Structures are given as structure tokens and as C-alpha cells.
Amino acid sequence: MKIKTKPLTEITQIATHILSREMGITNTISFVNQFTTGYGDYTKKREKQFSDLSLEGIVTEIKEMRER
């Protein structure tokens, strides 16, 4: 018995349609996003973004937020 397979793009379209119908678009997007690859260099971006913060500064900021 030979099974004819569908192209991956068609399988993806069918699966996305079923998921959105059964779970809603928001949950479908959340589900699909866990399988997508990000872009850029996350480590370099975070190093640049937080380069002016010290561990002590971060701890102080957390404590201040908890007090509010």
C-alpha cells in the first residue's frame, strides 16, 4: 500500500487552519511561535541593552518594584 504525501506547505496550511478553528488565532500563534527561530544576536543585544547596569543596581531595582 502506497500513501501519497502532501507537500509540506499544504500540510502547514491545513494544520494552521485546524488549530485556529479549534483553539482560536491567539493560541495558534502562541503555539506556532515556539517552533520559529528568532533572528539577530540575542546575547549581543542584551549585553548592549544592560551594559550600564550592575548586579547591585538590578537587585535595588527589583526591591523598589516589590515595594510599590
> For the chain, how many structural domains are there in total?
1
Grid-cell match 510599590, residue found: 68
Q: Are 24 and 15 in contact (CB under 8 A)?
A: no
Q: Is residue 3 part of a domain?
A: no
Give me 21's grid cell: 478553528
What's the confidence (pLDDT) of residue 42?
85
pLDDT digits (tens, 9 = 90+) for 11-53: 999 999 999 999 999 999 999 989 888 788 888 988 888 888 8
Range of the domain at 25: 8-67
Q: Is residue 2 part of a domain?
A: no
Q: Tell me: pLDDT of 1 over 80.
A: no
Q: Is residue 46 part of a domain?
A: yes
What's the confidence (pLDDT) of residue 40?
84
What's the confidence (pLDDT) of residue 13?
95
CA separation, residue 47 to residues 16, 42, 44 (Å): 36, 9, 5
DSSP class of residue 68?
-
CA-based angle 50:51:57, to the nearest 5?
Answer: 70
Q: Is residue 54 part of a domain?
A: yes
